[in-house]
Amino acid sequence: MNKTQVNVYFSLFGDDFPIDVDTEKLEVTPTETYKKGDLIPNRTTVVRKETSWDLGTGYQGSLDVNDQLQKIVGRLKNKSSIINEVKKAYFLECKFFIVIKIEMGNTPGLFLNKDIIKFASSIEAEFDVDL
């Protein structure tokens, strides 16, 4: 039986910056990184337009997006000052991406609790939801 899946990831991105610096300062290993100009997998001639440091859950069976958000925020919530420092130093933006694969009409709950909203606000992060 196919289950609805949710993937949440946090991304620090910008024109070009040393990804290793983010990893060292945050003391968190990213789940994915890429540099501006890298080829996009499965697209032979399309290149990345920015550099990105991402921390994500990967796709997980879920009917509550908050479960995946908590996993990411839990790893970063005490690092807001470091995130803001890196953003300022390298002119970066940050965003939470929520990607949902709905199966058999089973839509997950999309609830942002106060802690998530407070953390996102402290680092001026946006949310991008893709269904």
Q: Please list, in sequence order, all residues whose beta carbon lies within 8 angstroms of the beta carbon of residue 94, skipping any fewer than 6 positions away.
A: 10, 11, 12, 13, 83, 87, 123, 124, 125, 126
The ranges assigned to domains in the chain are 5-130
pLDDT digits (tens, 9 = 90+) for 31-47: 999 999 988 888 778 89
Give Dmax over CA atoms of the chain in angstroms.
47
Confidence (pLDDT) at 41:
85
Q: Which of 24, 22, 51 is nearest to 35 (CA)?
A: 51
**Residue 104: per-residue pLDDT:** 87
Residue 1 pLDDT greater than 60, yes or no: no
Indicate the pLDDT class of residue 106, thresholds 50, 70 and 90: confident
| Tokens read off for 19 | 């990804």
For 64-105, the pLDDT digits (tens) are 999 999 999 999 999 999 999 999 999 999 999 999 999 988
Write the CB contacts of 65 (distance below 8 Å, at least 6 apart in sequence).
6, 8, 98, 100, 108, 109, 110, 111
Token digits for 28?
Answer: 């968190």
